[in-house]
Amino acid sequence: MSGTGFAYPHLFGSKVPPPAPRWAGHPKYNFIGGHNDPSLVPVEALIEATQTVLRREGQSLALYSLAQGPQGYPPLRQFIADKLKRWRGIDSDADGVLVTSGSGQGIDLVNQMLVEPGDTVILEEFTYGGYLTKLKRIGANIVGAPLDDDGIRIDALETILAGLKKKGTTPKYICTIPTIQNPTGSIMPLARRHQLLAMAKKYGVPIFEDECYADLTWGGMNAPPALYALAPDQVVHIGSFSKTLAPALRLGYALAAPEFLGRMTAIKSATESGTGALEQMVVAEYFSKHFADHVGKLAGQLEEKLDTMIEAVEREFGIAAEPWRPKGGIFLWIKLPEHVDTMKLVQPALKAGIAFNPGPEWACDGADSKSRLRLCLPFRRRKSSAKASRPSPGSALRRPGFRSRAGTSGAPAPARKENAL
């Protein structure tokens, strides 16, 4: 239809964005987006799972939501409940799980439950850019809570909560990624989790817990229990299969107390006709048998990629780059010297075929993050031929010039300004 115009552009709504640019493919060196490794998609096992599940119950695709209701395919919800019980300490069952079309839909539903224009929410100072764009669209007031190596700083959080209380403001939630924080990759220790829950309870604020990366911790899924496991009446919990299996599948999930989850389900089913059932069926069938094996293998290979990336960052940037070594996940959060503005590097990098997230896209306060950037792990692993001529993975981390965390090496770490309330 190229060349045919739309006759009534003056009727477009006032908030309609400009057209999406024509898709030009990813840059050659793409360090954006939670992509997985093409070689780790278990193609034959997915085919086998498809065959098994479709022969058993494929005919039910003829019915909306497989005639199983709006919460999602029951065997997938059962698998989610089982995996969260085994690895995240959560005591739930299939009825306590809502399947969502990616965790993005989970975020939208939580926001629809709680956040109205002008409401205040507390996010981690550095956080997933998607939260920020969604909340800005709603017109929420975003307050960033400072982070350290263990996640949200409780003292700083109390200062924020007390300040808001003085103004008569109850934030609608504290949004946290306690297990493999995005972008820092930290894991909140158990004691801090209890402190966070106590502080949130003291000020009457729910916690919105996102565990999209929790299954990808180095050395096995042995993080402290989810916040939702510790205080299910205070917490709404979401997760995803994008990172553990494949992001082109759109499957996530949410757990919350029944009166919360039931309303989320009502909002979801009022606006769409269910999450794609074939993907739910295939993932339930595959992961019910292969989850631990698959995720263990995947995490090991992601850590190998991370080591390669850290090695390259060290080689190219020397002590100018200060990464927070993540404890899992798919990204590396790097601090460059204070005077560097990573926003100014985006376009020159793109011209060289390199894409990354500049810090301000992943932070509540753009100014505080301007010298930072996020690099997602590359699609592919190091070629084994190249590997032989380079230091073994992990070696870079042991070199004295490379700080795995701010303040933990001997080299002077640039001061980190905290977000002002």
Rounded to 5°, angle at Cα 132 from 299 and 333 = 40
Q: Report the SS3 class of residue 316.
A: helix
Closest by Cα among 280, 272, 326 to 147: 326
- 377 makes contact with a copy of itself (CB under 8 A): no
Min. distance of Cβ 7 from a copy of itself in angstroms?
Answer: 4
Q: How many residues of this chain interact with a copy of itself, rule: CB under 8 A?
A: 110
Among 220, 262, 353, 407, binds a copy of itself (CB under 8 A): 262
CA dihedral 231, 232, 234, 235 (to 10 degrees): 110
Nearer to a copy of itself, 110 or 396 (CB): 110
Give the range of 161-169, 226-234, 332-340, 353-361 binding a copy of itself by CB under 8 A.
Answer: 226-234
Tell me how far, at minimum, the Cβ of 2 lies from a copy of itself, in Å. 6
The one among 129, 276, 296, 414 contacting a copy of itself by CB under 8 A: 276
Q: Binding of a copy of itself at residue 8 (CB under 8 A)?
A: yes
For the CB of residue 219, give the shortest distance to a copy of itself in the complex, in Å. 23
Q: Find out whether the peptide bond into 27 is cis, omega within 30 degrees of 0.
A: no
The correct pick among 88, 101, 152, 331 for binding a copy of itself (CB under 8 A) is 101
Q: Which of 242, 214, 217, 241 is nearest to 228 (CA)?
A: 214
Segment near a copy of itself (CB under 8 A); pick from 209-217, 228-236, 317-325, 403-411:
228-236
Closer CB to a copy of itself, residue 271 or residue 392? 271
**Candidate ranges 16-24, 284-292, 322-330, 338-346; the one touching a copy of itself (CB under 8 A):** 16-24
Give 7 or 386: the residue with its C-beta nearer to a copy of itself. 7
Footprint of a copy of itself on residues 24-53 (CB under 8 A)? 25-26, 33-41, 43, 46-47, 50-51
Which residues 6+ apart lie within 8 Å of 349 measured at CB? 355, 356
Nearer to a copy of itself, 121 or 147 (CB): 121
Q: CA-to-CA distance for 197 and 204, rounded, in angstroms? A: 10
The CB-of-108 to a copy of itself minimum distance in angstroms stands at 7
Rounded (10°) CA dihedral 22, 23, 24, 25 = 180
Asked if residue 269 binds a copy of itself (CB under 8 A), the reply is: yes
Select the residue interacting with a copy of itself from 260, 287, 291, 356 (CB under 8 A). Answer: 260
Torsion angle of alpha carbons 68, 73, 75, 76, nearest 10°? -160
* Residue 403 touches a copy of itself, criterion: CB under 8 A: no
68 belongs to the binding site for a copy of itself (CB under 8 A) = yes
Comparing CB distances to a copy of itself, the nearer of 294 and 335 is: 294
356 binds a copy of itself (CB under 8 A): no
Among 2, 347, 384, 389, binds a copy of itself (CB under 8 A): 2
Kindly state the helix (H) or strand (E) to which residue 303 belongs, with its residue range.
Answer: helix 277-317
| Number of neighbours of residue 90 by Cβ within 10 angstroms | 24
Is residue 112 at the binding interface for a copy of itself, with CB under 8 A as the rule?
Answer: yes
- 274 sits near a copy of itself (criterion: CB under 8 A): yes
Closest approach of a copy of itself to the CB of residue 225, in Å = 14
Q: Which of residues 186-215 bind a copy of itself (CB under 8 A)?
A: 201, 204-206
Q: Which of 152, 195, 143, 197 is nearest to 171 (CA)?
A: 143
Residue among 307, 367, 324 nearest 343 (CA): 367
- The backbone torsions φ and ψ at residue 152, rounded to the nearest 5 degrees and listed phi first, read -60, 130
Q: What is the smallest separation between the CB atom of 208 and a copy of itself, expressed in angstroms?
A: 11
Site residues (CB under 8 A) for a copy of itself, limited to 305-324: none
Q: Is 300 an interacting residue with respect to a copy of itself (CB under 8 A)?
A: no
**Binding flag, residue 166, a copy of itself (CB under 8 A):** no
Q: Are 295 and 221 in contact (CB under 8 A)?
A: yes
Secondary structure element (H or E) that encloses residue 321, with its range = none
333/405 Cα distance (integer angstroms): 10
Closest C-alpha among 236, 228, 241 to residue 275 = 241
Q: Output DSSP code: residue 205.
A: -
**Which residue in 149, 154, 170 sits closest to 416, CA to CA?**
149
The least distance separating a copy of itself from the CB of residue 369, rounded to whole angstroms, comes to 22
Cα(15)–Cα(400) distance, integer angstroms: 52
